[in-house]
Amino acid sequence: MSNTYTQIKINEFFTLKEFVAEEDLKAVLSNPFILSNIIELADILERLRKKIGKPLIITSGYRNPEKNKKVGGADKSAHLLGKACDWTLEWELHERENITRNIVDFFRNNDYIVGEFICYFKNYQGKWLPSRFHFATPFYADGIKHKVFLVSIEKTKKYKPFLSDPFLALQQLIGLI
């Protein structure tokens, strides 16, 4: 089991292992709803990965309820359904404008796939830099698609919604303008 597990590819860039911990594998593989959510999520991230041209490092994918509680996730967190993941990437300072633009453009221009998109920022030598991203595929409540762009300052977890132009808001936050 273990050997196969590490090799299961969801698509060109992502393996199942990146989204599901080994201890959860059995439960996820026997739950078609969660499994298909993870595949959908990974496919969107594959498209983003191609656009950015850099590896996306998944830091948290599917969470079982116990793990979700431990990391302080919301009671109804999309992570519990395999509909959300947190990721980061390694970048040089001079790349940040381009990469940030690509990320925001991707989510802004793909209306139909946008669910929740949160950037967590960390203060780095006097500048706010994106440190982590959270992306969730759309979920529906009463037939209404939730479409949310949010930014967050690390630690406070106080969300500030993008009011007009998310890229402008991002640029302001990271101190480019």
C-alpha to C-alpha distance for 60 and 131, rounded to whole angstroms: 14
Binding part of the chain for Zn ion, among 47-55, 80-88, 108-116, 168-176 by CB under 5 A, reads: 80-88
Closest to Zn ion by CB, 49 vs 134, is: 134
Binding part of the chain for Zn ion, among 15-23, 51-59, 128-136, 137-145 by CB under 5 A, reads: 128-136
Which run of H or of E encompasses 160?
strand 158-161
The only residue of 49, 83, 132, 134 in contact with Zn ion, by rule CB under 5 A? 134
Maximum distance among all Cα pairs of the chain, rounded to whole angstroms:
51
C-alpha to C-alpha distance for 27 and 30, rounded to whole angstroms: 5
Number of residues that bind Zn ion (CB under 5 A): 2
Q: Using DSSP, how many helices (H) and how many strands (E) does the chain show?
A: 6, 8
Confirm or reject binding of residue 86 to Zn ion (CB under 5 A): yes
Chain position carrying tokens 């950015």: 52
Closest to Zn ion by CB, 6 vs 131, is: 131
What residue is closest to Zn ion based on CB? Answer: 134
Q: Which residues bind Zn ion (CB under 5 A)?
A: 86, 134
